[in-house]
Amino acid sequence: MLLEPNLSRSEQRNLEFKQRITDAAIALFVELGVNETPVTAIIKKAGIAHKTFFNHFPSKQHLLSYIACDYANGLLQLSYDPNKTAFDALDEGFMQMATQLQELDESLQSVIRNLLICVPTGPIDVVEKQTKNLSDGVKEVLIQAERLQQLQPGFSIETYTEVITGIAINTVINWAGQEHYPLQERMTAAVAFIHRSVFIIQ
């Protein structure tokens, strides 16, 4: 784990404990399954005291939410590339997202499916974490498209951002909730719909 130079020693130690707990949990989730992994097994594998676990995560559900946020932040991202058209940046970002999910090891896919559809509890809002990085990237792409007059008139950037982000998130959630969901095919169709509905086709 990378150290954060601006954190105090106690904050750094807390991060290290969280990392040990999440690493142990993910390994057990892959081996046993999320529902079949008890907190006691995570505590034992992480090599920590019972109290230490609950100091960081009041329940297993809080731990699931924390891990889901981490995965969401890593997978659901989009960044604008000034060397590409706005639509191409969106297209490549969404298709890369689908490819990353489908190329995961099957057992890890199962874990991530479970995590992405778990019900958030406590102070961590999984849905907000899942959408923030993605919506920020989508908005940046749309701002550039508007500057280049590549955006369909009639709706605000905020509206387009919410709609496009929602389409991507719902496609991933459908993949998470359905076995054998054709993610690449559905994401390709979603991107084509967005292209025709949002962008001015040159």
CA distance 62 to 131: 19
Q: Are residues 191 and 101 in the same domain?
A: yes
Beta bridge partners of 199: 151
- Mind listing the pLDDT tens digit for each residue in 88-116? 888 988 998 888 888 876 767 777 776 66
Q: Which residue, chain included where needed, has tokens 């991202």?
A: 77
- Mind listing the pLDDT tens digit for each residue in 177-189? 788 889 999 999 9
Q: Does any domain span residue 66?
A: no
Using DSSP's 3-state secondary structure scheme, residue 199 falls into: strand
Q: Are residues 77 and 177 in the same domain?
A: yes
Q: Are residues 181 and 150 in the same domain?
A: yes
pLDDT of the residue at 123: 39
Least reliable range by pLDDT among 4-13, 57-66, 137-146, 175-184: 4-13
Range of the domain at 139: 71-198
Sign of CA dihedral 97, 100, 105, 111: negative
Structurally, the chain folds into a number of domains equal to 2
What are the angstrom distances between the C-alpha of 174 and each of 57, 69, 137, 161?
28, 18, 21, 20
Q: Are residues 39 and 113 in the same domain?
A: no
Q: Is pTM beyond 0.75 here?
A: no
Contact 130, 118 (CB under 8 A): no
Can you give the CATH number for the domain in which 47 is found? 1.10.10
Residue 117: both structure tokens together: 């559809």
Contact 57, 49 (CB under 8 A): no
Give the rounded percent of residues in the chain with a pLDDT score beyond 70.
Answer: 81
Q: At what angle do helices 157-177 and 183-198 cross, to 10 degrees?
A: 170
Q: Are residues 29 and 91 in the same domain?
A: no
Go through 171-200 and write b for each residue having 16 or more CB atoms within 10 A of its CB, e for each that does not: bbbebbeeeebebeebbeebbeebeeebbe
Q: Are residues 98 and 42 in the same domain?
A: no
Provide the pLDDT confidence category of residue 3 given band limits of 50, 70 and 90.
very low
